[in-house]
Amino acid sequence: MSGTSLVAARERALAVLGGEPDDATLRRYLHGIPGIDAVGLEQRAAGLGTRSIKTTSKRWALDRTISLIDLTTLEGADTPGKVRSLVAKAMTPDPADPTAPRVAAVCVYGDMVPFAVDALGAAHGDPDDGLVSVAAVATAFPSGRASLAIKLQDTADAVAAGADEIDMVIDRGAFLAGRYGEVFDQIVQVKEACRKPDGSAASLKVILETGELNTYDNVRRASWLAILAGGDFIKTSTGKVQPAATLPVTLLMLEVVRDWHLATGQRIGVKPAGGIRSSKDAIKYLVTVAETAGEEWLRPHLFRFGASSLLNDVLLQRQKLATGHYSGADYVTID
Domains annotated on the chain, with CATH: 4-326 (3.20.20.70)
Query: Can you give the pTM of this predicted structure?
Result: 0.93
Rounded Cα distance, 185 and 180, in Å: 9
Predicted confidence band of residue 9 (pLDDT cuts 50, 70, 90): low
Grouping H, G, I as helix, E, B as strand and the rest as coil, residue 74 is coil
259 part of the active site: no
Q: CB 50: neighbour CB atoms within 10 A?
A: 10
Q: CB 224: neighbour CB atoms within 10 A?
A: 19
In terms of Cα–Cα distance, which of 303, 312, 288 is closest to 51? 288
In terms of Cα–Cα distance, which of 331, 238, 335 is closest to 279? 331
**pLDDT computed for residue 84 by the predictor:** 98
Q: Which residue is catalytic, options 58, 151, 191, 235?
A: 235
- Residues 21-42 have a mean pLDDT of 96
The answer on pLDDT for 317 being more than 90 is: yes
- Residues 153-167 have a mean pLDDT of 98
235 part of the active site: yes
**Residues recorded for the chain:** 335
Rounded Cα distance, 193 and 158, in Å: 10
Q: Which residue is catalytic, options 167, 185, 232, 313?
A: 167
Predicted confidence band of residue 68 (pLDDT cuts 50, 70, 90): very high
Q: Which residue is catalytic, options 58, 89, 191, 271?
A: 271
Rounded Cα distance, 182 and 161, in Å: 28
**pLDDT computed for residue 140 by the predictor:** 96
- Are residues 333 and 58 in contact, defined by beta-carbon separation less than 8 angstroms? yes
**pLDDT computed for residue 55 by the predictor:** 60
Higher per-residue pLDDT: 106 or 3: 106
The answer on pLDDT for 333 being more than 80 is: no
Among the residue ranges 50-64, 252-266, 320-334, the one predicted with the least confidence is 320-334
**pLDDT computed for residue 218 by the predictor:** 98
Tell me: the pLDDT tens digits for 202-249? 999 999 999 999 999 999 999 999 999 999 999 999 999 999 999 999
Predicted confidence band of residue 41 (pLDDT cuts 50, 70, 90): very high
In terms of Cα–Cα distance, which of 186, 267, 258, 253 is closest to 221? 253
35 DSSP 8-state letter: P
**pLDDT computed for residue 56 by the predictor:** 65
Number of helices (H), then strands (E), in the chain? 13, 8
The answer on pLDDT for 335 being more than 80 is: no
At 57, which helix (H) or strand (E)?
Answer: helix 55-67
The answer on pLDDT for 334 being more than 70 is: no
**pLDDT computed for residue 204 by the predictor:** 98
Rounded Cα distance, 17 and 323, in Å: 56
240 part of the active site: no
Higher per-residue pLDDT: 15 or 41: 41
Rounded Cα distance, 252 and 288, in Å: 10
- Residues 186-206 have a mean pLDDT of 95
Q: How far is CA 78 from CA 92, 137, 153, in A?
A: 21, 13, 21
Task: Tell me what the pLDDT averaged over the chain comes to.
Answer: 93
In terms of Cα–Cα distance, which of 183, 263, 175 is closest to 219? 175
Q: What is the DSSP string of 98-114?
A: TTSPPPSEEEEEGGGHH
The answer on pLDDT for 327 being more than 80 is: no
- Residues 152-181 have a mean pLDDT of 98
Tell me: the pLDDT tens digits for 90-137? 999 999 999 999 999 999 999 999 999 999 999 999 999 999 999 999
The answer on pLDDT for 14 being more than 90 is: no
**pLDDT computed for residue 76 by the predictor:** 95
